[in-house]
Amino acid sequence: MTFPTSSSSPLTPDVAANLAAVQANIVRLGRSLDSVTVVAVTKSQSVEVVRAGYAAGLRVFGENYVNELVDKASTTRDLSDIRWQFLGALQSRKIDTVTQWADEVLTVSREKEVAAVADGSTPRPVYIQVDYAATAGRNGVGPAEAPVLIESCRRRGLEVRGLMTVAPPNPDAAEVAFRRLSELAAREGVRELSMGMSDDYELAVAYGSTQIRLGRTLFGPRAPVPGLI
């Protein structure tokens, strides 16, 4: 599969090689490449990295911070088929900005967020973030409450495009989370499963993930940037 390149970058060959290794693992696990979207997580990365990823064949990019989303989405508008996902915790006062720049919002977990997205100037497809770790401070609705939130979205006219989770770091607990999220999606008639990151994406793919969110695996280590919101 080939894609047009946006511009040359010295970073592109490394990203392309990393993407090829991920794709080889997807195939090894018995999945077709068309069935699993690789979402490039560019948190704390530069716009040059985004363009290098695009040139390597990536088309869906995810951001955790609103200001980075706006900056990168606004400066890559020449890439007509690029898509942006918002992966960070939602703040009510910034939801309208998020929906103006992100094509999909993956972290809806509270009724007030549902209302803000539905009533905003640019309603977007949403994913419900489900928390299986039960860790204090972690974003996500509890599994038992997720169906109610899904129904609330649909009642307000929002498309629930998928479910999303950040799995616990323990492999056994991660396996349980991925299995349960897959079962929940089947019960609720939700087609997309955003689960699996750099440390656990192979397990997630084995449990039916349709989107894996990769940063370090594609771009290498990043330096944390404090204070971004």
In the block, tokens 């490039």 appear at: 40
For residue 6, name the pLDDT band (cuts at 50, 70, 90).
very low
Maximum CA pair distance of the chain?
Answer: 48
198 with 216: CB under 8 angstroms? Answer: yes
pLDDT score, position 186: 98
Q: Are strands 83-86 and 60-63 parallel, antiparallel or unpaired?
A: parallel
pLDDT tens column, 68-122? 999 999 999 999 999 999 999 999 999 999 999 999 999 999 999 999 999 999 9
CA angle, 142 then 198 then 194, to 5°: 40
Q: How confident is the model at residue 134 (pLDDT cuts 50, 70, 90)?
A: confident
The radius of gyration of the chain's CA atoms, rounded to the nearest angstrom, is: 17
pLDDT at 218 over 90: yes
CB-based burial label for 189 (10 Å; 0-12, 13-18, 19+): exposed
**pLDDT digits 0-9 by tens, 46-71:** 999 999 999 999 999 999 999 999 99
pTM (two decimals): 0.92
Q: Decide which of 50 and 8 is more confident.
A: 50
Q: Give the amino acid at 6.
A: S
Task: Assess contact for 79 and 55: CB atoms under 8 A.
Answer: no
212-229: average pLDDT? 77
DSSP state, residue 170: S
Q: Which helix (H) or strand (E) holds 85?
A: strand 83-86
Residue 69, CA distances (Å) to 36, 103, 129 in order: 23, 11, 19
What is the tens place of the pLDDT at every residue in 18-42?
999 999 999 999 999 999 999 999 9
Could you tell me if 50 and 61 are in contact, meaning their C-beta atoms sit under 8 angstroms apart? yes
Q: Which domains does the chain have, with CATH numbers?
A: 12-219 (3.20.20.10)
Q: What's the confidence (pLDDT) of residue 138?
A: 80
